[in-house]
Amino acid sequence: MKHFSFIILLLAILSCNTSNENTVVKEIVKIETDTIYVNKGSTTPDTSLIEGVPKVVKQNLSDIKIVLSKLSDPYEFHLYGKIEFFINQKLIYTYENEYLEIQAYQDNVCSYFEILENEIFSTFYIFRSNNRPEPNNFIVFKKVGKSIEKVGETETLTGEIYGDIDLDGIFEIGGFNRHCEPGVKETENPNHPLFCSDFLRVYEITNTIERDTIVEQTILKRKKQRVLTHR
């Protein structure tokens, strides 16, 4: 995969949000130049921290504001259990579940990219979901007009592949779908080009999330070529 690293296009990452997991309200006010959540009955922004970690993080992306809240323990992982999308200060979409743990930071809550379809740009948002002890999985949403819909999720992936690695205009996410342990066989040495290669997976992110076996085979072919150098 190192062969691909130089062409990986990293996408801009942003994050956003502000909310109080217990007392937060669906009440939005204009304070200075920014629209933020406040505690009910207060004009003070909820910028409080737990063990130094913001209870709420947010990111502005064009006409979208994304707010993550419900910070969970262990706090140092920066994991949030609720995602909210706003357009023009109006809440348009909420995603949360009991086990959701999105790793996010202020102004860096997700990756995003645009695809031109029928002369209209669609925007995709990719969130990194902590799935410890297994690798992360990635949850994808899409903005259609003024609404948000969930596209889907990848399986757990180590995520070394992240971007348009084959320059075809489509975003890929990939890596290994498990954490491989070193073993006694030659290919079980972490320094071997084929280490863990049985578990290589690459997904294309479009209106669906599907494996790109062509890219997988291309990577594996190059890995096998490197075996000669390895020896």
Residues making contact with Ca ion (CB under 5 A): 164, 166, 168, 170, 172
Nearest residue (CB) to Ca ion, 27 versus 168: 168
Nearest residue (CB) to Ca ion, 8 versus 25: 8
Chain-centroid distance of CA 199 in Å reads 21
From CA 119, how far away is CA 115, in angstroms rounded? 10
CB of 204 to Ca ion, least distance (A): 7
Burial-class residue 72 by CB neighbours within 10 Å (0-12, 13-18, 19+). Answer: middle
CB of 108 to Ca ion, least distance (A): 23
Nearest residue (CB) to Ca ion, 71 versus 157: 157
CB of 212 to Ca ion, least distance (A): 8
Give the pairing of strands 120-129 and 110-117: antiparallel
CB of 112 to Ca ion, least distance (A): 16
Residue 112: half-sphere exposure toward Cβ, Cα within 13 Å: 23
CB of 40 to Ca ion, least distance (A): 46
From CA 124, how far away is CA 197, in angstroms rounded? 29
Nearest residue (CB) to Ca ion, 57 versus 161: 161
Cross-strand pairs, 220: none
Nearest residue (CB) to Ca ion, 1 versus 38: 1
Contact 69, 84 (CB under 8 A): yes
DSSP for 110-160, written as a single string: EEEEEEEETTEEEEEEEEEE--TTSPPEEEEEEEETTEEEEEEE------S
Nearest residue (CB) to Ca ion, 86 versus 124: 124
CB of 109 to Ca ion, least distance (A): 23
